[in-house]
Amino acid sequence: MYKRQVFNYTEVDMGGISIDRHGVPLTDEALATAKANDAVLLGAVGGVVGKDSWYELPPNLRPEAGLLAIRKGLNLFANLRPAYLYNELRKACPLRDEIIGDGFDMIIVRELTGGLYFGARKTENVDGVETAVDTLTYNENEIRRIAIRGFDIAMKRRKKVTSVDKANVLDSSRLWRKVVNEVAKDYPEVELEHMLVDNCAMQLVRDPKQFDVILTENMFGDILSDEAAMISGSLGMLASASLNDTKFGMYEPSHGSAPDIAGQDKANPIATILSASMLLRFSFDMDKEADAIDNAVKKVLEAGYRTGDIMSEDMKLVGCKEMGSLVADMI
């Protein structure tokens, strides 16, 4: 039996809805409300570039700027994105059976508040030529704290860390590799390997079973986690957690807002459901309750229910609302 818990929810605007109502993607009041609570469960953010009027605004006023601002404001430096292949979704995986084997189970640990996304940027005219500049900056303290988080996670898993960088080209990556090597000395039980990001992108589709914990910087992690999501069957299946130095965390699906199917009851709610499970596990230490949610998702998949993104032959197609109800009924 599970002890009855009471959760108090406060809804705040962020992204496009905040722009429409308040003129900015994240207000100071919304950030203060988030800080005053124990955790944040975030909906997907974004629209369609070239279609939605939000993208006619300056970059610092677009929906995604709110996401960057709340991550920075809450000091959420560690993003965890599990990539797990459910046996029931093998047919949805684009890889061949001989590559899938017995399946794969990895987690991507991504530094979230530094790097290219947070560096200085500008677009200006230089000698008559329009020129854009983005700046990629990391210091050793930022690298060390995410490396420690990655190795701590590896200690609870299969004790292997693959640190991904571009050390053959980038100074920031050379510093990354140096600091990761220093941190590794404190974890003699953990196997460490370094891998260039282009090779990692290839290895994810060539042999995903080799990975346990992938540790990497902000932009590389953004790209690799989406690739890992697709070989898992669908972005609609993958949750994520963004953590700081305390129990506080922000939890969100790895996918975007899917504006092309908005209001059609077609979206896959499982990533959001599993994000709530991660919230219980990491912020509230409610492991049994989190396990119950995870097992409920597995039972629904075993029963053959699918949303359109993971649909395969002989399965039962359901909409977003029905999938959510089915999972709730299985808990």
Beta bridge partners of residue 243, listed in sequence order: 78, 249
What angle separates helix 171-184 from helix 140-155, to the nearest 10 degrees? 50
Q: Is 152 considered catalytic here?
A: no
Structure tokens at 293: 């949610």
Q: Are strands 305-306 and 316-317 parallel, antiparallel or unpaired?
A: parallel
The answer to whether 292 touches 277, Cβ cutoff 8 Å, is no
CA atoms of 73 and 92, how far apart (whole Å): 37
Angle at Cα 258 formed by Cα 254 and Cα 259, nearest 5°? 145
Place of tokens 């042999």: 207
Residue among 13, 86, 166, 305 flagged as catalytic = 166
Residue among 212, 222, 251, 309 flagged as catalytic = 222
Q: Is 247 considered catalytic here?
A: no
Q: Is 198 considered catalytic here?
A: yes
Count of CB atoms within 10 A of residue 183's CB?
22
CA atoms of 219 and 32, how far apart (whole Å): 27
Structure tokens at 240: 């994520």
Handedness of CA 21, 26, 28, 29 (dihedral sign): positive
Q: Which pairs with CB-CB distance under 8 Å and at least 24 residues apart come from 64-67?
A: 64/15, 64/25, 65/25, 65/26, 66/14, 66/15, 66/18, 66/24, 66/25, 66/26, 67/14, 67/15, 67/25
Cα distances from 160 to residues 189, 191, 213, 316, in angstroms, run: 9, 5, 6, 38
What angle separates helix 320-330 from helix 287-302, to the nearest 10 degrees? 120
Residue among 198, 245, 265, 291 flagged as catalytic = 198
Residue among 226, 294, 298, 299 flagged as catalytic = 226
Q: Is 166 considered catalytic here?
A: yes
> DSSP assignment, residue 90?
G
Which residues does the annotation mark as catalytic?
A: 117, 166, 198, 222, 226
